Each structure stands twice: as structure tokens, then as C-alpha cells.
Chains A and B, each alone.
Chain A
């Protein structure tokens, strides 16, 4: 098979050195010298933008730090501080509780209204229950409160966790179920 003119079949056939058509270095050096002497308006804009980005980043860091400290101080008990009391009539709505995750469920106005009414009548209803039952119900409500706090704390670390979100919503439902059951139990004897 004959080789055609101008075609290359092996790397060895390539030339070792190929000099450029012109010397590029003088132009590059001139450009660098010029740039180091007088910054252009475009350069100033870029520099300003970098400064602004740094400032925003620093502000965001400070804001995040502040939010972190606020959550830490309001959501977690300080050393020597007493734990939050078990659900009482004076307990605020969950949507306004410090450290509460503002789920759509807890922000529903009907839910908040119903819960507030049940919590308001809780102490009176508990008083009508047999002492041993009252103690057990109080313990169960404390368990629910603790579960809510644990779930909210875990969600604080992992806000998008679907499992925790579902368990939290269900725990809110359990709390309503207990409050309703106490309401019914408190009135059970009256109807008999």
C-alpha cells in the first residue's frame, strides 16, 4: 500500500519543534505592566462586588450565629434552669411555644382554638378524675410533651426529615386525643 503525499502515519514523522509565527511575549508583558499601573472601571466594579459579597457573607454568619444562640437559649434548658412544666392551662399554644417547629398543622387556627379550649378546661377536668388516674394522665401528658420536645430538637438538626415531621404531627394529634379523652372522662360521671 503506497503512502500518499502529505499524510502522516507515525508520530515519529512529526517535527520536534514548531516555532511560532511571531514572538507573543512582548505583547503579554506590555499588557501586564499596563494593568498593574492603572485599574480600569471594570476592575473596580469586580473588586467592589467581591467586597460586597464578603460583607454579606460576614453579615449572614453573624445572623446565623445570633439565631443559633437564640434557639439555644430559648429552646434548650440552661444549666441549673428548671425544665418546662408539664402541660398546664397556662401553657401557650404550640405555635407560639418557644422552640416549636412551626408546622402547618400547628398553625391551623381551628386546631389552635380547639386546643386552647381543651387546655383551659384541663385542670378542672383533671380534678374530677380519681387520684390514681389523674396521676397517670399527668404522666402521659408529660410523656407527650417530652416527645414533642425531643422531636422538635431532632428536627432542629434535620428540618427536612419526613419521618420526624410525621411523628411530630402524630404526636400533636395524640395530645389532642388525650385532651379530648380527659374532657370526656371528666364529664362521664355527670352523665351517669
Chain B
């Protein structure tokens, strides 16, 4: 009991010292309201918020291993760069809270840093290795990449073009619209789309779930090697569907029966039309993953 108390006190002291050693950094620079903001940070956090102002405001808590933070702005490009010496024995982690003009284009690069973006309405380019990403998606082109970090996105406007990829991280999108492309290897992919023109997703072993409404002329294409694919799309008028799997099962809630591709070998397919044909189309392909289609959300 006594040993535990001593250890607890020691732990509190060490964490207190570590926290006390964090340096606070604050800096603001004038920025183009429709310019580009580039942020890079190896580890820690990067939280960016859009606001109605003309400055890039940086607040940071810097670990011992961080040398400095460079903030520069010229010719429409503002850079925020956490500088870490090549050899450091201390934590090279920095927690950044940054406010940028709402219409800025944002480019963020991290390694293990978690990234969060809210209310930035220009294009996004967010890349991190093992950090998680949480972002709002507005109009324009957004490109989000992680290696093992999870990605959580929320659509905030129509007309976005979204490219989102991860290797082992999961991808989740709520209120997606316009053109969406997503791929993972082993991470699961879950998309809720409001009214989309085009959704194209692919996984190797991750499961896919797409829910939402497909507008006239829109397409949903999903492909997986061994992951299961579940599409629940309400027909806004109607759609054609083509589902095929080499060794997985194909089921649906419309009462249609999948047919065997060959009398002697494996392979199933289910083709048909739900409602009236409006040019909308759903295509799903798997090797061994199961496929499920339903016209009800």
C-alpha cells in the first residue's frame, strides 16, 4: 500500500514536471483570406479552425524536443512549421491550435500527429501517417490520406470532390455528397451519403457499408477482394444494379434471386432494376466477400 502511494506521488510529480516543461508559443501573422495555409508537425496535435478574420493565429504547447515553430506568410502562402532537431532525446511533440481565414486552402502534413479541422471552406490536403484525422468537408477538392490513422469526415456542403485513402485505418464519412472516392486495404469503410453523384470505393479486406440516396444519373461502385459490401440506397426515381461475387453470397431485400454465373463453377451475379431506370447505377464486385443490397435505409 505504502509502495503504491509512493509510486503514485512519483508519477504525479513526473507528469507535472513534464507538463511544466512544455513551452507555450503564440504568434499571429497577416494572411490572404483566400490563400493557402501549410502546416507541418511530426507528433502531437494539429487543430485548425476557420474563422472570419485575416490572420493566421497559432497557439502551441511545445515539448522539450521541439526546437522552435516557424510561422511565415508571403505571396498568399502562410507556413506553420514545427522544427525538431534531427537527434533529440526529448518529446518532439507539439500541440498546435490554429485559427485560419475561413476560405483558406489547407495543407497539413504530420507523422503521428492527430489532425482536426473545422469550418475551413477552401480545399483540403491532409496527410498523416499514424495520426487520426477528423475534418469538415466543404466545396472544392479535398484529399485526405493516412497510413494507419482512422479518418472521420463530415460533409458540410454540396459540390465537394473527396479523395480519401488509408492503408489500415478505418474511414467514416457522414453527410457525403457530390463525388467521393475512397480506398483502404484492411480498414473498414463506412459512408453515409445525402445525395451523391458518384461514390467509388475499394478495399482489400476491409468491409464496406454505404448508406444514402442516389440521385438520377448517379453511380455507386464498390469493390473488395475479401471484405463484405453492404449498400443501402434509397432509389430517388430508381437505379440499375449489377452485383457479382466469385465465392461470396449475394443477398438483397427486394426479393430478387442471384443466379450462378456458370453451371459448373463458382460465381454469382444479380442484375436488375429497382424502381424506374433513371440512369443511376450500383455496381458491386467481390471475390470472397458477401454482398448485400437493400433499397431501404
Chain A residues near B (Cβ < 8 Å): 129-130, 132-133, 136-137, 139-140, 143-144, 147, 150-151, 154, 157-158, 161, 163-164, 166-167, 170-171, 174, 177-178, 181-182, 184-185, 188-189, 191-192
The answer to whether B285 touches A166, judged by C-beta atoms less than 8 angstroms apart, is: yes
Question: B287, A140: Cβ atoms under 8 Å?
Answer: no
Asked if A150 and B130 sit within 8 Å, CB to CB, the answer is no
Check A167 against B148 for contact (C-beta < 8 Å): no
Can you name 29 A-B pairs with beta carbons within 8 Å? A129-B129, A130-B130, A132-B148, A133-B129, A136-B130, A137-B147, A137-B148, A137-B167, A140-B185, A143-B204, A150-B225, A150-B287, A151-B225, A154-B246, A161-B246, A163-B245, A163-B246, A163-B285, A163-B287, A166-B285, A167-B285, A167-B287, A174-B185, A181-B165, A188-B111, A189-B42, A192-B42, A192-B82, A192-B109
The answer, yes or no, to whether B81 is at the interface (CB within 8 Å) is yes
- Please pick, from B109, B204, B285, B286, the residue contacting A188 in the complex, using a CB distance under 8 A: B109
Residues of A within 8 A of B266 (CB): 158
11 additional A-B residue pairs with CB within 8 Å, beyond A140-B167, A151-B287, A191-B40: A133-B129, A140-B185, A144-B204, A147-B287, A157-B265, A170-B223, A171-B225, A178-B167, A182-B147, A188-B127, A189-B42
| Nearest 4 A/B pairs, CB to CB | A133-B130, A136-B168, A136-B148, A140-B185
Task: With both chains docked as a complex, state the minimum distance between the C-beta of B37 and any C-beta of chain A, in angstroms.
Answer: 15
Q: SS class of chain B's interface: helix, strand, loop or mixed?
A: loop
A174 touches B204 (CB 8 A): yes
CB neighbours (8 Å) of A158 from chain B are 265-267
A119, chain B: closest CB distance, angstroms: 16
In the complex the two chains form, is B109's CB within 8 Å of A150's CB? no
Q: How many of chain B's residues touch chain A, expressed as a range? A: 35 or more
> Are A133 and B147 within 8 A (Cβ)?
yes
Residues on B close to A: CB < 8 A?
40-42, 81-82, 84, 109-112, 127, 129-130, 145, 147-148, 165, 167-168, 183, 185-186, 202, 204-205, 223, 225-226, 244-247, 265-267, 285-288
